[in-house]
Chain A
Amino acid sequence: MGIRTLIGMLVAAVAVIAAMATQEAYRLFLPGLLQGAVLTIEIAILGSLLAIVMGVFAALARLYGPAPVRWLATVYVEIFRGTSALVQLFWLFFVLPQFGVSLDAFLVAVVALGLNVGAYGSEVVRGAILSVARGQWEACTALNMSRAQMLRRIILPQAFVAMIPPWGNLFIELLKSTALVSLITLSDLAFKAQQMNQNTFKTIPIFTLVLLMYLAMSLVLTIGMRLLERRASLGLARGRAG
């Protein structure tokens, strides 16, 4: 979908939310929902940062680590990709305390979602690194670069461009997964919606607003990643032309 359409959708979503805010029936719910949205955004941002760190480390460990590190990274990736995010969330929330490690719900949310998306991200990073043209690697060897130099100066800057679109999808997955944290007692946007729904039974206005709010957040993310992609691929003879 073109970036113009996406921006159009974002404007429309925000306009509908604003129009709803002028109605008495909807205005009631906005402060609480916005409060929830702030928590959702906090978890999404911190989770994404953790996901990037885990993704890069796991990918490098699987590509260049000594055997034990490689296995460890593979086990991490398989476990977090093979089980469902909700199971991971519940496991960290309910089971970990029985082993004497008690994290508060917010930390559990960030860690679980970050590790989950990080596992998918590591495959993205690995794929992007391996997709850099062979000539580039050979040229680095010919120039007698160390592995660190090669990665930092030649390979990663090129791999970065290929990583942007898939990471954009992962960030959206993470944003959507934050709705799960409502099930471990955190009062995020989904939790507030549930709570208000139980108190007022005004299901349609509440959930319409909430869906629009999630849509607006996803669209901001999508548009941001598109712009980043356009910027990063400037001057590179690959990828879509901006």
Chain B
Amino acid sequence: MWDWAFTWEILPVLANAAILSIEATLIGFVLAATLGLVLAVVRIAVPRTAWTISVLVELIRSTPLLIQIFFLYFVFPKFGVVLDAFTAGVLAIGIHYAAYCSEVYRAGFDNIHRGQWEASIALNLSAWTTFRDIIIPQAIPPIVPALGNYLVALFKETPLLSAIAVMELMQAAKIIGSETFRYTEPMTLVGLFFLAMSLVSAALIRSLERLLNRRTMR
């Protein structure tokens, strides 16, 4: 049933593809965390945009990531911008998770005591200074675990990139499967890889949470 020789043979191929999966995760997450923060800050700093941003976030969160990936991949060329599959896919993942992250940041900002905002106004700080020096340093540490959970969730979405033929882990496993007609080993290995990564990151997030709790305890 399980062929160890075959397993050793495909392991390097999968390991290579796993690197691309991790790259996609990291780039996607940096994009999501940055864009999410921008959305959350603009929403508060420019009240006129609040409604538009919340509708936009709702739109992105209510539709499947797979369709958004297809949309970016197929629609951009219509406007003359040809993105390769990896860029289009990572961009779609980044934007999708930016919508989720912006809600996390918003929760973080909402938890800042009102006096902090009022004191910033009283001190005549600009909106930029208020966010940079007062609000963000206080708002970010408590939400790090929540952001970490989205990092793991984002990582688990990278197999979707195989739908537009990015050579990440899932695509490599699919190709091995269709060439050799053996799906058992590649698919199981992919599953185990994700399981291992998720368990490790869950443990990391837990210890990070403990660390932050200790630091912010007063």
Contact = CB atoms under 8 A, between A and B. Distances in A.
A210 interface: yes
Contact of A84 (B74, B75, B159, B182): B159
B159 A210 contact: no
B160 A180 contact: yes
Chain B CB count within 10 A is highest, among A83, A178, A193, A204, for A83
B175 interface: no
Nearest to A210: B67
A99 B1 contact: yes
A176 interface: yes
Contacts of B58: 1, 6, 9
Contacts of A179: 64-67
Interface of A: 1, 5-6, 9, 78-79, 81-88, 90-91, 94-95, 98-99, 172, 176-180, 182-183, 190, 193-194, 197, 203-204, 207, 210-211, 214-215, 218-219, 222
B180 to A, nearest CB: 12
Interface stretch (B107-115, B116-124, B133-141, B188-196): B188-196
Contacts of A78: 195, 199
Given A207-B67, A207-B71, A82 B194 contact: yes
A82 B65 CA distance: 19
A87 B191 contact: yes
B12 to A, nearest CB: 20
A194 B163 CA distance: 11
Contacts of A215: 59, 62-63
A176 B187 contact: no
Nearest to B159: A86
Contacts of A204: 75, 78
B203 to A, nearest CB: 12
Taking residues whose C-beta sits less than 8 angstroms from the other chain, chain B's interface range is 35 or more
A83 B188 CA distance: 11
A223 B162 CA distance: 33
B75 A182 contact: no
Nearest to B161: A86
Contacts of B190: 87
B19 to A, nearest CB: 17
B63 A197 contact: no
A91 B191 contact: yes
Contacts of A79: 195
A180 B187 contact: no
21 contacts: A5-B54, A9-B58, A83-B191, A83-B198, A84-B156, A85-B156, A87-B170, A87-B187, A87-B194, A90-B170, A98-B182, A172-B62, A176-B62, A180-B66, A197-B70, A204-B78, A207-B70, A211-B68, A214-B64, A214-B67, A218-B63
Contacts of A172: 61-62
Nearest to A203: B74
B148 interface: no
A91 B194 CA distance: 13
Interface in B173-211: 173-174, 177, 182-184, 187-188, 190-191, 194-195, 198-199, 202
A179 B177 CA distance: 22
Contacts of B68: 211
Contacts of A211: 59, 63, 67-68, 71
A181 to B, nearest CB: 10
Contacts of B75: 203-204, 207
B84 interface: no
B199 A82 contact: yes
